[in-house]
Amino acid sequence: VLGPIENPNYKEYAADIHASGQHLLNLINELLDLSRIEAGKYELNEEAISLVNIAEDCRRMLEIRARSKGIELVAEFDEKLPKLWGDERAIRQVCLNLLSNAIKFTPQSGRIIFKVAAGDNNCQMISVRDNGPGIPESEIATVLSSFGQGSLAQKTAEQGAGLGLPIVQKIMDLHGGRFDLFSKLRFGTEVIATFPRSRVMEAMAPVRAER
C-alpha cells in the first residue's frame, strides 16, 4: 500500500504489531500460570540452578528497554553463591517480572539496582530497588492482589493485568520462600524474593579413594 518495501513505515508498523502481540501473549501466559497455581496444578520442575546466571540472562534481556528510557541498570551479583534447587523457568519469571515492573515505573534518568546475594541464615535472595515514585502505603495490599493495580499503574499506557507480583508471590510460596515489598512515596520501591536455606546446595566434600 505504501510502495516499495524499503519504506521505513513498514518496519515501524511491524514492530507495533509484534509488540502488541507479545503484550497479549504475556497476559495470556500470566493468566494461565495463575490459574494453574490456584488450581494446585503448577508443578515445579526442580533442578540445580545458578541464581546469578538466571539473573544475568534477565538483565541482558531487559537492558535495552531500560536504556531506551535512560535508566541506569546496576547489577550487583555475588558470583560465589552455591547452586540453588529450584524451577529455572519459574525463577526466571520471578526475575523478569520484578525487573520489568521496576523499569515500567521508574522515570527517565532513574536508577535500578538489581542484586543477587546471600541473605540471613545463608538463604539466597533477589532484590530489585528503584528510585521511582514509590507506592502509597494504602495501595501496597492492592498491588499484591490478583488484578490489583495502584493509581500509578492505572495512569500508564503499560498497565498490564496486575498479575506480575501475585504470580511472583505464589512462585515463591511454591519454593517455600517469601516475597517482600517495601516502598515509600518519592523515594522508590524495593522488592525482595528470598529462597530458604533448605534450597541452597552445599558443595560436596571431595571423595577419598580407598587404597
d(CA 126, CA 114): 8
> Looking at per-residue confidence, does 197 or 166 come out higher?
197
What integer pLDDT is reported at residue 136 of this predicted model?
Answer: 87
Cell of 60: 541482558
> How large is the average pLDDT for residues 93-116?
93
Considering the chain, what is the average pLDDT of its residues?
83
The pLDDT of 122-146, averaged and rounded, is 88
Nearest to 190 by CA among 113, 135, 128: 128
Phi, psi of 154 (to 5 degrees): -70, -20
**Unique residue bearing C-alpha cell 497476559:** 27
Of the candidate ranges 58-62, 82-86, 161-165, the one whose mean pLDDT is the lowest: 161-165
pLDDT above 80 for 180:
yes
134-168 in b/e burial notation, b at 16+ Cβ within 10 A?
bbeeebbebbbebebbbebbeeeeeebbbbbbbbb
